Amino acid sequence: MTKHQMLADIKDTLGTVPDWMVSVPDHVLEHEWSIIKNFQLGETAIPNKYKELIGLGVAALLECPYCIHFHTEAAKFWGASQEEIAEALKILSSQADE
């Protein structure tokens, strides 16, 4: 798949193309998009809502504002409530203090 085709597939799937996906090398984009599309967005043993809440917790531990925003919005998209999001952040923040 060419980069142009991958970007079109990303736009069709997500409704937009995040800036970082445009600027990464082709081989990185191919690898990352495959993981995102097949694992993060695909049906796996862990429901998508829970994958995003886990991702949110990891993002909070890494103190990555972009990642926190992404996983918060993705968790909401997959049906997470504000209470679930707050609980995921609270659990992880208590672990960071140890």
Token pair of 75, please? 């968790």
Tell me what the mean pLDDT of segment 78-91 comes to: 93
Confidence at residue 33, expressed as pLDDT on a 0 to 100 scale: 93
Domain ranges, ordered by start, for the chain? 3-40, 48-96
Name the pTM for this structure.
Answer: 0.71
Q: Are 72 and 56 in contact (CB under 8 A)?
A: yes
Query: How far out from the chain centre does Cα 15 lie?
Result: 15
State the architecture of 48-96 in CATH terms: Up-down Bundle (1.20)
Rounded distance between C-alpha atoms, residue 55 and residue 78, angstroms: 13
pLDDT of residue 96 exceeding 80, the answer is: no
Mean pLDDT of the chain: 89
Handedness of CA 88, 45, 67, 76 (dihedral sign): negative
Confidence at residue 1, expressed as pLDDT on a 0 to 100 scale: 84
Rounded distance between C-alpha atoms, residue 96 and residue 91, angstroms: 9
Which amino acid is residue 25, in one-letter code? P
